Structures are given as structure tokens and as C-alpha cells.
Structure 1
């Protein structure tokens, strides 16, 4: 629910800023953008509100852990645990220009893969039927075995008016990520950027 709210708050002003785009077309664009699932490509939304920066990362699980099936082996679980730990280190993955004084306050990582792991370790028998139902719904929604990993971050900035740059270290942490589509809303500024391992800095 938080992801949907953040996405809407980001995309609405971008859509309004583009002439000739109707509300219906904007909604279709939003649906297509977040419905896309292409290995190697991830999306990052950023919004600055007062002193708070909200970041939302949406990536195919294959980019992050190398697989998209429910973890079934010790190696799978270890890879997933390591990936989640790296994702939660927001200060390492997202480096704002030092003048802004931004530090991560909260982070949440969600994925069907994590839900599967939770169900295996807690209330296994009780959750079995619910898991099958959720897995079926997820496959219908994603169109197969695709699974995403989503991470939301909340940063507090001491000098938000001095926020001019973001360096994204995602490519170094997760080398399977080849491209990152960024959209940002900072006060009256709205924009987009396409990042790669060779060009991983956004200037606002």
C-alpha cells in the first residue's frame, strides 16, 4: 500500500508536467511501468518532502539474488539473506552529496521470496494453503515465475535545500543490474534519468 501511494505521488506531477497526457493515459503509463519485468533493469523513484527523502527501489529478484523461485536450498537462503542485508544498507547504496546531510532512518524490504521464507519458518502447516493461494495470485499477476524485490527507504536531510546529487552504488552491490530507470520529484523539480554502471550519478 505504501508503495502504491509513493508511486502515485511521484508520477502524478510528472504526468501533469507533460502536456497532452490525459489522466487515463497517465494511469496506463503507470501500470505499464510497474508491470514491466525485465531482467537487468530496475526502477528507482525518489521524492523529497520537507526534510524527508523517500526512495523506492523495484527490481526483478534475478538482478538481486540470481533467481526468482522460492528459496529451497541452504545456498538459496544464504544468498537471499545476504542480498537483504545489502539492500538494508541504504547509506551505502544511496549516497547523497554531503552538503545535504542525508542519513537513512528507516528501510523495508519486501518480496514474494521473503514471504515464502517466512511461511517456511513460522506456522508452516497453518500457512500452507494460504501460501499456495498467494503463489497462484502472484503468478497470475506477474505472468509466470517472475518475482520482484522491493525496498523502500526513508532518509532525513539536515540541509534539504542543498540536495543536488545522488550516487547510486546498486550496480557494484548487485552486478546483474545493468540499467536503473530513475524518476524524481524534488520541490518544484521533476525529472528522470537512466543510470548504468558507467554512469550512476543523478544530478538534480
Structure 2
């Protein structure tokens, strides 16, 4: 079962979501469209493991999407990175699940790895599309029990994020949902 979930997740991650047509950038490499106020979250739930991959324009998280030019912008990047590596900033699970954040990895073509801190991979080579910078966050959670609900906490921490397109792959379902600040909860079947 694990191999088929992984294969499905990889398929979803490499194909553009249905809502990607909303913006005019060329995303022929399979990434979602770059739309300010919106981001994409892929969740793979397999028994006691939850893998989350967030792709967001930097503007949603920082208020700018270029390499930091000032001390204030560099500090904003450090604060964002620290927040995204804090267990409850990205996702929060129902208490019965007993989930703990195992690792996070932040990647951006325009942000220096030194500002993203921690156990981070080097930034991707090349510049962001048409001057628009994005951030990819990968997070792994280990759970004692499969979660029943997942609260997306990003809306509380990043006011520039207004809509989150979520793709879910689990043993029981493959689904797409749209979340917003008023509706940040995912109920898993």
C-alpha cells in the first residue's frame, strides 16, 4: 500500500492541479500557478506518517518575493523560516493522533540557504519564474494513530495567505479541498 500511495503522491506533485489555470505564468515543469494570496498543499497520509509539501509565493509569507535586500528583509526571512520549522505553525492534528514534527526542509530559488537555517538543502539553481519567488516547505510528521482532523495553522501566521488548495492522498481517499482563514480544517475520511 505504501508504494501505491507514494506513486499517487508523486503523480499529483508532478502534474499541475486543476486550479493552476488561474494565472498566466508558464509552469510547464509541473508546479502550481503562482497566484498571490494562494498556495498549494499536498498531504500524504499513510497510517502513522504524514508528509506535507507546501508551495507558496513568497509574497504570501513575507510580503515580498525577491532576494532580501535590507537587514529588515533578511530578518523577515529568518523569522518566517523559524516559524515554519516550529511544530504547530504549519499543521496541527487532533490530540488522539499524537503527531510530532520529525523534520522540515525549506527551499527557494531566491532566498539564501543561510537565512533559511537549520538542516536545509541548498536553494534550487536558477532564478524564479518571471521574477516571482516561491517557497517549498516539506514537513514529515510521525503519528501514533492516523489523524482524523488536520488544522492548517498557516492562516494565523501568514496574513498574506487567503486560499489554500489542498490535495490529499491516503489509504482511504484521494481528494482536493480548498481552505481559507474561516475554514482551515481538513477532516479525513
TM-score of the pair, normalised by structure 1: 0.73
Q: Which has the larger radius of gyration?
A: 1
Mapped pair 1:201 → 2:185: yes
Written as runs of structure 1 = structure 2, the 5 A alignment for 1:28-177 is 34-115=31-112, 118=114, 134=125, 137-139=126-128, 142=129, 144-160=130-146, 163-177=147-161
**Contact map agreement 2:89 2:157 (CA 8 A) in 1:** no
Larger RCO: Structure 1 or Structure 2 (Cα < 8 Å, ≥ 6 residues apart)? 1
* Residue in structure 2 matched with residue 188 of structure 1 by the alignment: 172
- Structure 1 gap ranges (5+): 1-5, 15-25, 120-130
* Residue in structure 1 matched with residue 24 of structure 2 by the alignment: none
Tell me how far 1:29 sits from its aligned partner: 5.2
TM-score of the pair, normalised by structure 2: 0.78
Number of residue pairs the alignment of both structures matches: 166
User: Which whole-Å CA distance do the structure 2 matches of 1:97 and 1:170 have between them?
Assistant: 16
Point out the structure with the larger helix share: 1
Tell me how far 1:189 sits from its aligned partner: 1.2
Q: Moved runs in structure 1, 4+ residues, more than 3 A? A: 6-9, 26-33
Range moving further from structure 2, 183-192 or 166-175 = 183-192
**Contact map agreement 1:7 1:45 (CA 8 A) in 2:** no
* Residue in structure 1 matched with residue 119 of structure 2 by the alignment: none
User: Which whole-Å CA distance do the structure 1 matches of 2:32 and 2:15 have between them?
Assistant: 12
Tell me how far 1:83 sits from its aligned partner: 0.6
Once the two structures are superposed, residues 3-34 of structure 1 have per-residue CA deviations (whole angstroms, 9 ceiling, x without a partner) of: xxx9963264x7xxxxxxxxxxx946586662
User: Which whole-Å CA distance do the structure 1 matches of 2:61 and 2:140 have between them?
Assistant: 21
- Structure 2 gap ranges (5+): 19-26, 116-122
**Contact map agreement 2:44 2:52 (CA 8 A) in 1:** yes
User: Which whole-Å CA distance do the structure 1 matches of 2:80 and 2:6 have between them?
Assistant: 24
* Residue in structure 1 matched with residue 9 of structure 2 by the alignment: 10
Question: What's the RMSD between the two structures over aligned residues?
Answer: 2.6
